[in-house]
């Protein structure tokens, strides 16, 4: 877009303004709609957390309900990796290792871990299209039905190839859940709650991973194949419950606006808010704000396809989103990396016959894994407090710096073979998990939801998660070889490799990832359109409504009622808020 002289002057002093002339010619009675949108935006920016919870408590409930799918996915995805040291699993699927004991070869570990990632990529691409075509709710329900059928394969698999095929099948619906829940949470909640509910997704992962660790630990002493088949069977508990719950969930109002179903969007907003605190006038203003944001983006971008993600200003937004997700693994927080200490513990225990015979090595490893996985939940709750005081960009930078430092220490511990060094490495791994889950882990979901445009959000989040899955495949190839005694046998020294990766990611974050805190989607659209550098996002003022230059096109807005003077409406809004 070519900037007018006044806009150029504003940009020099740190202000960007919208040019709504093209929209005015496109939508009849736009001045009425944009005034409604301006009021809704002002109220949302001034809304505190308690007030937002009082008004949008239903939206919080439905967001958390859909996010519960990630408890199931967190349980499922890490389950297979939990069996690589499991006696019953090794007896069924293992092959003799260098020391005569059964092991799962590194190649098959990579295949099993990457199977779900490969299926996840397919599911992510499907979700980017299906959730925009049919809506998040219907897409979610179909994916849950597919999940029920896919679980049969790993439960009854008799060989590693069939088990790998089962992981690929299960990965498809997992891929759909991974991003659909993030988009839904970001679209149904106001600014004051957005970071809580998008970050909560990381806690859902943590709940699932922690539950998986507990179930595997509880089944550890079962001597038959049911020691690992029971944890697979438990996956059937989730889909029926979630299908019933989501059947009654309201559709995303942003999606309904993009389909130009404005009356349905109003109904959805009513279902997501409390009528005693959010009147019909407030509903109309809220939908007007969503219409204005969508129209701004239509003016900025030619379309809403996968190809359009790499055109114009959306190219930058896509690049940043891809790297935000990839950074989760580039930081060194690959779920297999926690096996650095577990492997070292088992290696040390093998030198102590009484410790090995008592089974204490395996049990201690799984107990430590429980502590590591608990950090997903604890860290997410810590992140809620941090997100209220610090920006997303700040938390990413601090988190990467902490993780690089811890990984350097873990890598240094690898040069000594003492038992004390291994326990110190274990303690550092717990802190590494805490640092990650207080910063990068949950903040990533908030950033991804805010950086992507609303029209391309489903596809951007899906493709960003594809970048994560591709990195997951790469890590799934590298990490088992780093840790395997039959391959590279780096052990804790692997920490040095991932410390270097975390430092490079830190440099990228400083240069490219912007601050999105307390910004509406319309404001972020304009900041990207005006190509504001990442380090100036937080200081640049944005006028997305530009009311002084708004002119009506002939006709009336089909959904909005005529409004009186803007000052009177704002005064009325203040009264409602109080």
Express each pLDDT in 104-143 by its tens digit.
887 888 788 788 888 988 998 899 889 989 999 999 999 9
CA–CA separation, 79 and 213 (whole Å) = 8
Please report, to the nearest 10 degrees, the dihedral formed by the alpha carbons of residues 484, 489, 492, 497 taken in order.
Answer: -100
- Is the pLDDT confidence value at 352 over 60? no
Give, in order, the Cα–Cα distances in Å from 125 to each of 118, 173, 187, 401, 460: 11, 11, 20, 33, 10
Across the range 177-198, mean pLDDT stands at 89
Query: Which of these ranges, 418-432, 467-481, 490-504, has the smallest mean pLDDT?
Result: 418-432
What mean pLDDT, rounded, does the chain reach? 81
Can you give the pLDDT at residue 64? 92
**Per mean pLDDT, which range of 42-46, 254-258, 392-396, 573-577 is the poorest?**
573-577
Highest mean pLDDT: which of 178-187, 404-413, 415-424, 507-516? 507-516
Q: Checking phi first, is residue 149 left (phi over 0); if not, alpha (psi -120 to 50) or beta? A: alpha
Q: What is the pLDDT of residues 248-273, one digit of tens each?
A: 999 999 999 999 899 999 999 999 99
Binning pLDDT at 50, 70 and 90, where does residue 361 land? low
Range with the largest mean pLDDT of 13-27, 55-69, 354-368, 541-555: 55-69
What average pLDDT does the segment 559-576 reach? 41
3-state secondary structure of 541: strand
Nearest to 280 by CA among 567, 561, 570, 52: 561
pLDDT at 236: 92
Q: How far apart are CA 294 and CA 34, in angstroms?
A: 12
In this prediction, residue 29 carries a pLDDT of 63
DSSP state of 307: G
The pLDDT of residue 162 is: 92
* Residue 411: predicted pLDDT: 86
pLDDT above 50: residue 387: yes
Q: How far apart are CA 7 and CA 12, in angstroms?
A: 9
CA 204 to chain centre: 10
- Please give the average per-residue pLDDT across 139-160, as a whole number: 92
**Distance in angstroms (rounded) separating the CA atoms of residues 354 and 163:** 34
Which residues on adjacent β-strands are paired with residue 17? 543
Higher pLDDT, 112 or 510: 510
Cα 503-314-22 angle, rounded to 5 deg = 150
Beta-carbon-side half-sphere exposure of residue 498 (alpha carbons within 13 Å): 35
Provide the pLDDT for residue 363: 62
Cβ–Cβ under 8 Å, residues 290 and 257: yes
Q: Residue holding tokens 């099993």?
A: 112
pLDDT over 70, % of the chain = 83
Between these two residues, 494 and 420, which has the higher pLDDT value? 494
Collect all residues with Cβ–Cβ distance below 8 Å to 114 and sequence separation of at least 6: 472, 473, 476, 477
Q: Span 228-232, mean pLDDT? A: 89
142 vs 537: CA distance, rounded Å: 39
- Work out the pLDDT band at 302, boundaries 50, 70, 90: low
In the structure, what pLDDT confidence band is assigned to residue 58 with cuts at 50, 70 and 90?
A: very high
376 pLDDT higher than 60 = yes
Domains (ranges, CATH) in the chain?
A: 43-258+312-524 (1.20.1250.20)
Integer Cα distance of 320 and 393 in angstroms: 12
pLDDT at 490 over 60: yes
Q: What is the residue whose two structure tokens read 């790993």?
A: 154
Confidence of residue 283 (pLDDT cuts 50, 70, 90): very high
- pLDDT for 252: 93
Separation CA 43–CA 366 (nearest Å)? 49
CA distance 262 to 259: 8
d(CA 105, CA 486): 8
Contacts of 538 (CB under 8 A, 6+ apart): 391, 393, 515, 517
User: What was the pLDDT predicted at 474?
Assistant: 86
Q: For residue 482, what pLDDT is reported? A: 80
> Residue 248 burial by CB count (10 A; 0-12/13-18/19+): exposed, middle or buried?
exposed
pLDDT of residue 266: 94
Q: Please tell me the number of Cα atoms within 13 Å of 454 on its side-chain side.
A: 31
In the chain, how many H helices and how many E strands?
Answer: 27, 4
Residues 156 and 208: their CA atoms lie apart, in Å, by 22
- The rounded distance, in Å, linking the Cα atoms of 469 and 462 is 10
Identify the three-state secondary structure at position 157: coil
**Percent of the chain whose pLDDT exceeds 90:** 34
């Amino acid at each position: 877009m070519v900037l007018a002289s006044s806009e150029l002057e504003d940009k020099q002093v740190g202000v960007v303004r919208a040019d709504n002339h093209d929209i005015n010619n496109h939508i009849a009675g736009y001045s009425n709609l944009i005034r409604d949108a301006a009021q809704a935006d002002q109220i949302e920016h001034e809304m505190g957390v308690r007030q937002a919870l009082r008004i949008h408590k239903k939206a919080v409930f439905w967001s958390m309900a859909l996010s519960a799918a990630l408890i199931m996915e967190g349980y499922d995805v890490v389950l297979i990796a939990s069996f690589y040291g499991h006696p019953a699993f090794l007896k069924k699927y293992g092959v003799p290792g260098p020391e005569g004991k059964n092991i799962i070869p590194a190649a098959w570990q990579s295949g099993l871990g990457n199977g779900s990632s490969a299926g996840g990529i397919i599911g992510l691409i499907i979700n980017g299209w299906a959730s925009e075509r049919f809506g998040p709710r219907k897409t979610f329900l179909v994916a849950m039905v597919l999940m029920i059928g896919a679980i049969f394969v790993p439960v009854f698999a008799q060989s590693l190839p069939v088990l790998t095929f089962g992981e690929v099948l299960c990965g498809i619906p997992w891929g759909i859940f991974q991003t659909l829940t993030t988009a839904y949470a970001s679209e149904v909640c106001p600014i004051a709650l957005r970071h809580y509910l998008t970050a909560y997704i990381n806690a859902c992962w943590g709940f699932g991973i922690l539950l998986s660790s507990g179930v595997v630990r509880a089944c550890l002493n079962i001597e038959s194949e049911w020691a690992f088949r029971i944890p697979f069977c438990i996956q059937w508990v989730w889909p029926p419950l979630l299908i019933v719950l989501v059947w009654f969930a309201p559709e995303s109002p942003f999606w309904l606006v993009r389909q130009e179903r404005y009356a349905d969007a109003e109904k959805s907003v009513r279902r997501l808010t409390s009528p005693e605190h959010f009147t019909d006038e407030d509903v109309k203003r809220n939908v007007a704000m969503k219409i204005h944001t969508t129209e701004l983006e239509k003016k900025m971008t030619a379309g809403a396809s996968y190809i359009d993600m790499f055109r114009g200003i959306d190219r930058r937004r896509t690049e940043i989103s891809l790297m935000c997700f990839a950074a989760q693994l580039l930081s060194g927080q690959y779920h297999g990396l926690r096996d650095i200490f577990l492997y070292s513990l088992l290696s040390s225990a093998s030198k102590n016959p009484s410790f090995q015979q008592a089974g204490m090595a395996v049990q201690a490893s799984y107990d430590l894994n429980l502590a590591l996985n608990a950090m997903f939940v604890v860290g997410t709750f810590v992140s809620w407090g941090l997100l209220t005081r610090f920006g997303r960009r700040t938390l990413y930078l601090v988190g990467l710096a902490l993780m690089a430092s811890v990984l350097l220490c873990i890598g240094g511990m690898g040069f000594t073979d003492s038992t004390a060094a291994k326990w110190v490495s274990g303690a550092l791994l717990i802190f590494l998990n805490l640092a990650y889950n207080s910063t990068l882990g949950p903040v990533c979901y908030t950033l991804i939801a805010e950086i992507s445009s609303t029209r391309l959000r489903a596809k951007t989040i899906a493709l960003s998660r594809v970048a994560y899955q591709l990195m997951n495949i790469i890590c799934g190839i590298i990490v088992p070889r780093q840790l395997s005694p039959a391959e590279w046998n780096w052990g804790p020294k692997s920490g040095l490799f991932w410390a270097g990766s975390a430092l490079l990611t830190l440099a990228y974050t400083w240069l490219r990832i912007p601050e999105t805190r307390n910004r509406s989607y319309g404001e972020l659209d304009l900041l990207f359109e005006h190509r504001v550098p990442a380090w100036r996002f937080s200081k640049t003022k944005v006028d997305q409504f530009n009311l002084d230059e708004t002119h009506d096109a002939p006709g009336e807005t089909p959904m909005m009622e005529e409004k009186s003077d803007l000052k009177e409406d704002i005064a009325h809004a203040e009264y409602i808020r109080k």
